[in-house]
Amino acid sequence: MNGDQLAQWLEGLGLADQLGAAGLPTFERDLGGIARWRDPGTGAPLTDEQLADLDRLLHQDGDDPAHAVPLALVQLRRRAQVRAGLLASPTHTYASLAEVRGVSENAARFAVHKAAERGALLVVPHDGGVLVPAFQLGDDGELRPELAAVLEPLLASTMDPWQVWTWLTQPAGLLGGLIPHEAARDADEAPIVRHAAVRLAERATR
């Protein structure tokens, strides 16, 4: 494929926006609609040799290079979609959590930091600050008691906070498709959720 064909292929797959996140060369279309590829490190236009290398790299997954799909970019796109969904769900800042708890913002910040250090609250970094996902909290703004034993092994593992947030709020294979934080509300399901969390944490730490 030449540069324009490669760009069209990626656009057709909906993967063009994931190139930069993967550390790969990116492209922009000029006024004539031609794709202009640039090196991520130098910003210089890609040579024909570099384009050929990129083409081979993107087509290396699968038995048939002509129909291969760059799985790493597919995974990045899926992760971006999930993250966007998480960010659209209810969350708290220090200020909004302080309002729910009826305390000062400084008191809420201190309590959040201490709870996070103990592995007793999921706190997610975002845009230079932090978010506290609301699913884990009760109406009083405090951690739901049934989630304490679920969060502890996950937050003690090497899992990224975004991964923990995703697992707790998406259908989980280890739970037969149940959503972990919802299943934990059921006294019969709670021990199974805790066991699944421990298994997931152990797998992530290996």
pTM for this structure? 0.68
Q: What pLDDT, on the 0 to 100 scale, is given for residue 18?
A: 83
Question: Is residue 51 a part of any domain in this protein?
Answer: yes
Residue 129: which domain range?
106-205
Q: Are residues 78 and 110 in the same domain?
A: no
Q: Are residues 56 and 111 in the same domain?
A: no
Q: Are residues 17 and 52 in the same domain?
A: yes
Structure tokens at 15: 């993967």
The fraction of the chain above a pLDDT of 90, given in percent, is: 53
pLDDT tens-digit map of 58-75: 877 654 545 566 777 877
Judge whether 114 and 143 are in contact, CB under 8 Å. Answer: no
- Of the candidates 86, 114, 135, which is a domain's last residue? 86
Q: Using the predicted structure, report yes or no on whether residue 92 has a pLDDT greater than 90.
A: yes
Q: What pLDDT, on the 0 to 100 scale, is given for residue 71?
A: 74
- Angle, nearest 10°, between helix axes 3-13 and 71-88? 40
Judge whether 133 and 154 are in contact, CB under 8 Å. Answer: no
Q: Are residues 110 and 201 in the same domain?
A: yes
Number of domain units in the chain: 2
The residues near 128 (Cβ < 8 Å, ≥ 6 apart) are none
pLDDT tens-digit map of 170-205: 998 888 899 999 999 999 999 999 999 999 999 877
Q: Are residues 198 and 125 in the same domain?
A: yes
Question: Is residue 82 a part of any domain in this protein?
Answer: yes
Judge whether 55 and 1 are in contact, CB under 8 Å. Answer: yes
